[in-house]
């Protein structure tokens, strides 16, 4: 009898099994900050023993979702690439409407508010900041959303005039819609989103705050975003 099953089915099942564990899911969500973490840092974050965490990391690396680097005695892991990050972020956005988070104390409430205000989503801007930037790009004709996300010719020229290097030769799309899990609207991802986020951090437009992936727009950033994109200060608050 001919096997009519889709040959991708076993691979999809293996991928799903990697995500079907709360500890591994917690590690993947933490790594959405785009940085490399040590095994010890992730063990403390996931609240499991180092030996337990090591086994989980081995499975994620073998499954292609993480890559590891060794530096001296330390073992670092990070998300394998933008596709892995997009997968985790999309799944997180899918379950977000079903999750009711009740902050434990003012500190946790403040951290949640900061994340909603502005954060990095792997390597691009998210939260209200990411949405404000995406809206400004669209309103100024730099980005089209009617047939999926696509930079216009004016958008490409904007990056050149702003002095923001844009990688145009890789496999990664220039612009990609990424569903924002707090705003429930798409923000700008892809190579353009990554280039803008990297420049915003390098130029001091934004700074990381706290131990999460929250970012804060600086006074210099407010001026730059106003001058370059017409974003008003209150849209960033």
Query: Over 90: is that where the pLDDT of 222 sits?
Result: yes
Would you kindly state where each structural domain of the chain is located, as residue ranges?
Answer: 9-80, 104-236
* Token duo for residue 142: 């730099």
CB 88 within 8 A of CB 29: yes
CB 197 within 8 A of CB 125: yes
Instruction: State the pLDDT at residue 2.
Output: 61
Helix, strand or coil for residue 141? coil
172 vs 138: CA distance, rounded Å = 21
147 vs 90: CA distance, rounded Å = 19
User: If we measure between CA atoms, which residue out of 18, 29, 20, 210 comes closest to residue 114?
Assistant: 210
Query: Over 90: is that where the pLDDT of 74 sits?
Result: no
Instruction: State the pLDDT at residue 5.
Output: 81
User: If we measure between CA atoms, which residue out of 175, 148, 162 comes closest to residue 202?
Assistant: 162
CB 30 within 8 A of CB 37: yes
**CATH class of this structure's domain 9-80:** mainly alpha
Q: Does residue 107 or residue 208 have the better pLDDT?
A: 208
What's the pTM value of the predicted model, to 2 decimals?
0.72
Query: Over 60: is that where the pLDDT of 101 sits?
Result: no
Q: What is the pLDDT of residues 131-147, one digit of tens each?
A: 999 999 999 999 999 88
Helix, strand or coil for residue 146? strand
Angle between helices 106-117 and 127-139 (to 10 degrees): 20
30 vs 23: CA distance, rounded Å = 11
Q: Does residue 7 or residue 16 have the better pLDDT?
A: 16
**DSSP-assigned states of every residue in 37-99:** EEHHHHHHHHTS-HHHHHHHHHHHHHTTSEEEEEETTEEEEEESSHHHHHHHHHHHHHHGGG-
Q: What is the pLDDT of residues 14-54, one digit of tens each?
A: 999 999 999 999 999 889 887 889 989 999 989 999 899 99
Please state the rounded mean pLDDT for residues 5-19. Answer: 89
Query: Over 60: is that where the pLDDT of 159 sits?
Result: yes
Query: Over 60: is that where the pLDDT of 99 sits?
Result: no
Which residue is listed with tokens 């293996």? 14
Q: What are φ and ψ of residue 71, in 5° steps?
A: -135, 105
């Amino acid at each position: 009898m001919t096997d009519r099953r889709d040959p991708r089915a076993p691979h999809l099942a293996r991928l799903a099994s990697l995500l079907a564990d709360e500890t591994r899911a917690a590690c993947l969500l933490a790594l959405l900050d785009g940085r490399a973490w040590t095994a010890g840092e992730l063990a403390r974050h996931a609240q499991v023993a180092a030996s337990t965490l090591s086994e989980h990391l081995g499975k994620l690396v073998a499954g292609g979702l993480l890559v590891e680097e060794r530096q001296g005695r330390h073992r670092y892991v990070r998300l394998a690439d933008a596709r892995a990050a997009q997968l985790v972020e999309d799944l997180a956005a899918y379950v977000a409407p079903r999750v009711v988070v009740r902050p434990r104390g003012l500190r946790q409430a403040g951290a949640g508010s900061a994340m909603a205000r502005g954060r990095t989503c792997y390597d691009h801007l998210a939260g209200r900041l990411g949405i404000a930037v995406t809206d400004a790009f669209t309103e100024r004709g730099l980005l089209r959303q009617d047939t999926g996300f696509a930079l216009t010719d004016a958008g490409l020229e904007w990056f050149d005039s702003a002095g923001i290097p844009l990688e145009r030769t890789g496999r990664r799309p220039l612009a990609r819609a990424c569903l924002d899990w707090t705003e429930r609207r798409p923000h700008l991802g892809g190579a353009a989103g990554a280039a803008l986020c990297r420049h915003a951090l390098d130029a001091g437009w934004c700074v990381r705050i706290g131990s999460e992936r929250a970012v804060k727009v600086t006074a210099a950033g407010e001026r730059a975003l106003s001058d370059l994109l017409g974003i008003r200060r209150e849209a960033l608050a």
